[in-house]
A and B are shown apart, each in its own frame.
Chain A
Amino acid sequence: MLPDTMGLTFLAFCLPFLGALVAPALTRILGHNAAWPLALVPAAIFLHFLGFNAEVARGEIVTGGYAWVPSYNVSFSWLIDGLSLAFLLLISGIGTLIVLYAGGYLKGHPHQGRFFSFILMFMGAMLGLVASDSFLMLFVFWELTSITSFLLIGFDHAREAARRAALQALVVTGGGGLFLLAGLLLLWNVTDVTQLSLLMSFGAEVRASPFYLPLLFLILGGAFTKSAQFPFHFWLPNAMEAPTPVSAYLHSATMVKAGVYLLMRLNPVMGDTPAWETILPAFGGLTLIVGAVLAIRQSDLKLMLAYTTVASLGLLVMLTGFGSQHAVAAAALYLVAHSLFKGALFMVAGLIDHETGTRDITRLGGLRRAMPVTFLAALLASLSMAGLPPFFGFLAKEEIYAALAGGSLRAVAFTAAAVVGNGLMFAVAFAVALKPFLGAPVKTPKHAHEGPALLWIGPVLLAVKGLVIGLFSAAAHALLTSPLASAIAGKPQTVTISAVPHLGLALALSVVTIVFGIAVFLFIDKARAAANRLVEDIGWGPDRGFDQVMTGLVRAAAAITRLVQPGRMEIYMTATFAVIALALLVPPAVYGEWPRLPVWPADMPFHELAVMALAVLGIGAVLTARNRLTAIVALGIQGFCVALLFLLFGAPDLAFTQFMIETLSVVILALVMTRLKLTPRDHRPLREKIPDAVIAIACGLGFSLYLLKVTQGRFDTALTDFFNLYSKTIAHGANVVNVIIVDFRGTDTLGEIAVVMVTGLAILSIIRIRKGRA
């Protein structure tokens, strides 16, 4: 790769974030027309990555990047093969249309600039995620998509439902991200590589590793939460609280596919094992059925589409894990087809909502005259979703059936799941695309008319693209789907399916699906009622479960807080000192490491003895003091004696500081004590004082033994020698203590004085609060 291409690619990854920076200012100047210049950002990225198409179609893998933290083997590096490139093109291509669409959809919204900023940030995160080569980058961008998704879902933050949905999405996908992190760390541990491109050659090691199963569960924990697999599917429909451009972009075309991307990426490494080929299709198939049934139940256009997205993601996971060559090709085809038609249909739903004021399917009808262009887009997209020839969706579905159909019980079961799921999605596609437009016009909250070009340009282009790819399938396979399938399979693959129906089992299954779909569509009101009854009979769902878990978490946190933070000073003090005593006494007791009793020095000078006696007298004075103030002052006697001992043993700096500290602490303690409004004397009965005395003695004993033990250990003089030797020559100071504080360990001191200042501020504010209350 040429160096300037590398720089340009790096720029392409940074460009969305730069766009996000200027978006608010640009929107303030240009209003909703800022969408036009801002759409240039993803358009330029799209064109840049289109340039890699030829290389990737030849089967080459483009890598590049920069060292980031070389000592930890962390780099900012990317890996562009068929899989990444398909995602990169989808993200930037659909992103261009979404930016334009958002320009029309949120026209006049006071926070439109912020919206552009968020969506460009998300785009940058998503581009980074699918192109990441290093594990760390993958994780960072993965979490960044969760965070930007949180911001976008909660964009309409004044509504409680939006806030709840945003939080739910963040908790589920962000929590899943932690699973992913653990999984990546484990992968790193098992293989000792931190880059996906290198990981590819370690497939056998990973599969044979004793940690394979934990690893699989961790990775699936990340992928299933992100891609809304059952039982984590509930956050995705709730995320429809977001403005429609977000639903079309994040929650159908791109972000929710990140989990699928991860599974596809790791398929060559972790796939081809019984666990992989059981868990993935099972959960995928279950998600497909659950999603499709729940979609039938809805009458809100966006929610219907959201649940079919859940179903489609299930289908993709099922295909990824199914483990045959055709399944991989089918996954590749369906991935691209789904992004195109689902993105278009979401934009259509938003367009209908925007122009008529409702998206309840039972209150819509006869819009074909008022909104002909929208009708065209809806029709084309839904024909692709329904899987009719010659649309792209048809290719995908044929390939799916070709992949699944087989003689074994497993194949029959999954084929049945696919037929039922696809049939229900067929019905939903027709319901979304036909019901609002056909029949007699129904009065809508707003007078219906065609939306502005900004709004219909996106869905029309995406829908037409679905038709074009279907018609020119050979070119599309060569450029897009074959490299994509090769990357998923980890070995070269060619996709050959075309839009010309060819007799066979797959076509027969397609016909069955279409008949079943039409039947459901004709009786969709009855089907909806039946699905509703089913869900009501079950009653409890993961969505409610989420609320229960969150409520439980808050309650548990409150209970623990009440337990450890009761707000009573004496409990804090008792707990602190009891823990200190235990920490000092338990380890030597457990390991039998008691210090030897020191020998009493024979020739102890009289003045040293006198100072020690004075210190002991001071303690006696504290214990026998009649009131608290006297006790505090008496404590000072002991402190001054210790300072004297320091002085006698040649530590003038220490002694000096000890004198000052003693003086000030007596003064401040006295001030605090008078503030606490305590009775002058301790009137508690003896049996309440005894536990305190025990803790105090245990602490004192613990510290004494600890100091004895330390001084009996071997003393390493390396540092002392160093400081003594270099204090004068390097730091120009004779006072070693001071030189250490201000020069050798200056950065420590800087941190310490910052702590001193912050502590001062904290104490000051506590005093202020008390004053305010009084």
Chain B
Amino acid sequence: MTTLIFRTVAPFLTALMVLFSLFVLLRGHNEPGGGFIGGLIAVSAFAIYGIANGIAAVRRALWFHPMAISAFGLFIAAIAGLMSIFFAVPFMTGLWVYPVILGVEIPLSSVMLFDTGVYLVVVGAITSIALALEAEEDA
């Protein structure tokens, strides 16, 4: 698997796929996509990087332990739900703001934060399983 071509291409492929996964995540509310799918794409990206350059490289690149990423995702998803408490509306009610930045109206919402949480949970959990399994194989 670790041919020269593959190893050379893998970082670019990974970067592109992660970028694409973010794109899929963000467009999810109106076009096909969302946190689950985006997360799965990101996991594939890391899997490719791991197969090409070894898991140590993936762990270095991720910086945080994947399980910590997953836990953080769950945390912000819960926070996104709890934000409604400050506006006296039921748990998990979607909240929207439309700030205008550099003349462009950008819709931001607690729903998007929630979807980001989903994305991170999926990325973290499945990456950590895949990495653990690959590490076993190396040993």
Contacts and interface: CB of A to CB of B under 8 A. Distances in A.
B136 A771 contact: yes
Interface size class of B (residues with CB under 8 A): 35 or more
Given A664-B43, A753-B117, A764 B109 contact: no
Contacts of A672: 133
Contacts of B28: 735, 738, 742
Given A735-B30, A757-B71, 6 more contacts: A734-B29, A735-B29, A757-B74, A757-B121, A760-B67, A763-B132
Contacts of A770: 136
Given A754-B74, A764-B128, A671 B34 contact: no
B41 A764 contact: no
Interface in A732-774: 732-735, 737-739, 741-743, 746-747, 749-750, 753-754, 756-757, 759-761, 763-764, 767-768, 770-771, 774
B114 A732 contact: no
Contacts, number: 145
A742 B30 contact: no
Interface stretch (B3-11, B56-64, B91-99): B91-99
A66 interface: no
Contacts of B36: 657, 741
A652 interface: yes
Contacts of B71: 757
B70 A656 contact: no
A412 interface: no
Nearest to B71: A757
Among all A-B residue pairs, the 6 with the closest Cβ atoms: A760-B125, A660-B40, A671-B133, A652-B32, A734-B30, A733-B29
A757 B70 contact: yes
A668 interface: yes
Nearest to B48: A667
A5 interface: no
A672 B137 CA distance: 9
Interface size class of A (residues with CB under 8 A): 35 or more
A735 B111 contact: no
Interface in B101-139: 107, 109, 111, 114-115, 117-118, 121-122, 124-126, 128-130, 132-134, 136-137, 139
Nearest to A656: B37
A675 interface: yes
A750 B81 contact: yes
B44 interface: yes
Contacts of A760: 67, 70, 124-126, 128-129
**In terms of DSSP, what is the predominant structure of the interface of chain B?**
helix
Contacts of A559: none
B77 interface: yes
A474 B66 CA distance: 79
Given A668-B133, A767-B133, A756 B125 contact: yes
A733 B34 CA distance: 12
B136 to A, nearest CB: 5
A596 B94 CA distance: 44
B139 A771 contact: yes
Interface in A629-679: 652-653, 656-657, 660-661, 663-664, 667-668, 671-672, 674-675
Interface of B: 24, 28-37, 40-41, 43-44, 47, 67, 70-71, 73-74, 77-78, 81, 91-92, 94, 96, 107, 109, 111, 114-115, 117-118, 121-122, 124-126, 128-130, 132-134, 136-137, 139
Contacts of A771: 136, 139
A668 B33 CA distance: 23
Nearest to B134: A671
B16 to A, nearest CB: 16
Given A652-B32, A657-B40, A760-B124, A753 B129 contact: no
A661 B94 contact: no
Nearest to B29: A733
B30 A749 contact: no
B115 A742 contact: yes
A573 interface: no
A764 B132 contact: yes
A204 interface: no
B136 A675 contact: yes
A671 B33 contact: no
Nearest to A671: B133
A764 B40 contact: no
A91 B113 CA distance: 55
B32 A653 contact: yes
A742 B128 contact: no
Given A675-B133, A767-B132, A741 B40 contact: no
Given A671-B134, A734-B31, A664 B40 contact: yes
Contacts of B92: 743, 746-747, 750
A362 to B, nearest CB: 65
Contacts of A734: 29-31
A735 B132 contact: no
